Amino acid sequence: MPYRNLTMEQMEAVRFDDNLLLSACPGSGKTKTLVSKLCYLLENKESLRIGKRKIVAITYTNVAADTIKERLLSYGIDSSALWIGTIHSFCLHWVIKPNINLIPRLCKGYVIIDEHEKQAKIDELKEKYHINKFERVETKLGLDYKPVYSRGVALFDLVREYHLYLGQNRLIDFDLIINLSYRLLKENSFLGRRLSKLSSHLLVDEYQDTSDIQYEILSSVVSRQQTTVTFVGDKEQAIYTGLGAVVKDKTDLKETFKLDSIAEKSLTGCFRSSQRIVDYYSNYQDGNIDIQSMSKLKDFASVVHLDNTIHKNDLAEYVANIIKTHLAQGIEQREIVVLCPSWFAVMELSRRLEEFSDDFSIDGFLVSPIPKNQDNIWLNLIRLALLEPSVENYIKRQRIAKTLSEFLYDIRETDELIQPKKILRAVNSLSIKAVGAIEKWIEGIIKDFYLKLNLEYNNNSLGASSMRSLLDATAQRMKSYSMNYEASDLHRFFCDPSGVKITSCHSTKGDEYDVVICTGLLKGKVPHWQDIRNRSMQHQNYVARRLLYVVASRAKKHLYMISENGYVSNSGYHYVKTEQL
């Protein structure tokens, strides 16, 4: 049951039915509390006078949304009154798609460019405008719909050409989804009024990672005072302020959302890490909160090791030896993570670790031949076709099948929602094997899926259009990256990883592992040069301490913080250990 073993703090937050700011330290059961609160709202719709309105939950990542959906499914609770997804999904589903006739740029069709394609275009433009390949480029537009850079500088021209490219090719990126939604809501106030009538409760997870423009979009709904709002997060984990996130306190939120009142509650105590780990990452707090381990690992003899003696050429072997040591102690591969400050460093270390990984497998950075555009309905079918039916995958397959059913209904391929069980039976009986050319396999399983469900395949339907879009994007991706993958290779991109994970420091937020090994803790990397140049020491300290706090608090048992030496910048600067360590 969802309420079993909740603490008094957690249960108070679950039952509280008014505007709420809930602060949650690492490992304090934030997700458990959020899921329980959603269960409580769904189970008490009548007494809470929710009626036919929706409960909306905004998560920072699709993974977080999927995790919550799967937990709700495991409890067997009817979640038809719940909508959950990222702010970008919210804008697409609630703002853009129902009002696409009001957006001339999109009404004739569009495709969402994924992050890999976007980065490839940015890299091409960096070369054209002679901009350092490591320079961070802010492609999102301001509230005035203009580049954030001053006119006349190379970065302004780069961003302008990037957006011209998007427009000419009927593409939009995730930042543009936000910009278009903001403009639509500001120019058509009736849309906000309509949304406020549709939503009874709005819950925002990781609220500290919300940008000003995203706050404005959400306030278009909440400020009508017909929606109860809950903000959940931890200002100590605000690692995206350099990318525009704004940390608001209780007073700021009350003003932004025009609330009559908002209560503030906290979740204290860490159910994840040993006390030694907690004591270490507490050094990076600004709030000086006394966090106590409530975990079964409270008194575990954790290793907390800081090292700045390793040369970068020896880093891969050193990390591999740490991994092998803990594997020999019985720790599972999937309970070990290696972190790097950038995706470039992730790719480099992944490649070098391969030389020393005879005793373990690596789940590193891989570019999928199929763009994982969440807006394309057929990605769900591909996932189901590749995800083996098993007890372990039961809930996940149910969740994906439910999403696929909703997509089919939304694009009018079906007159009513198809039961997930029927979807799964159709998928399990697909006769097309994952062999040969990827594009041919995708087309084959989609058409076979129509056949198994007795649906008519129409070349002019949205389903067929989505298939062609996915096939074109896949062909383009494989050509751009000179890929020669076949359908039999797809499992590695779509199935759950089971090896040692290698990822970026920022992307590990929300995760937890027995062993965390963080590399690249060097000034210029953490904090990044763009948070150093022309920035105050106060800003540098803030950014570095937030990231160190998040990284260290992912560890349950053991933590390694490595500042390898031997790096030299183009200007001759020898990188030194992150000062804030």
Binding residue ranges? 24-31
Q: How far apart are CA 119 and CA 430, in angstroms?
A: 35
Residues at the binding site for ATP are 24-31
In the numeric block, the tokens 């975990």 are attached to 295
Residue 210 and residue 87 in contact, taking contact as beta carbons nearer than 8 Å: yes
Non-local CB neighbours of 202 within 8 Å, separated by 6+ positions = 56, 57, 58, 218, 221, 222, 227, 228, 229, 230
Residue 359 and residue 325 in contact, taking contact as beta carbons nearer than 8 Å: no
Q: What proportions of the chain, in percent to the nearest 5, are helix, strand and coil?
A: 45, 15, 40
Q: How far apart are CA 197 and CA 402, in angstroms?
A: 26
The secondary structure of residue 418, as a DSSP letter, is P
Q: Which residues pair with 23 in a beta bridge?
A: 233, 266
The secondary structure of residue 335, as a DSSP letter, is G
Backbone angles phi, psi at 46, to 5 degrees: -70, -50
In the numeric block, the tokens 């460019």 are attached to 113
Residue 520 and residue 340 in contact, taking contact as beta carbons nearer than 8 Å: yes
Residue 203 and residue 36 in contact, taking contact as beta carbons nearer than 8 Å: no
Non-local CB neighbours of 468 within 8 Å, separated by 6+ positions = none
Residue 20 and residue 263 in contact, taking contact as beta carbons nearer than 8 Å: yes
Question: Cβ–Cβ contacts within 10 Å for residue 295, how many?
Answer: 19
Task: Pick the closest to residue 423 from 399, 392, 457 (CA basis).
Answer: 399
Backbone angles phi, psi at 258, to 5 degrees: 50, 50
Helices first, then strands: H and E counts in the chain: 20, 14
3-state DSSP call for residue 142? coil
Q: How far apart are CA 318 and CA 284, in angstroms?
A: 26
Peptide linkage before 527 cis (omega within 30 of 0): yes
Residue 179 and residue 88 in contact, taking contact as beta carbons nearer than 8 Å: no
Task: Pick the closest to residue 552 from 576, 533, 578 (CA basis).
Answer: 578
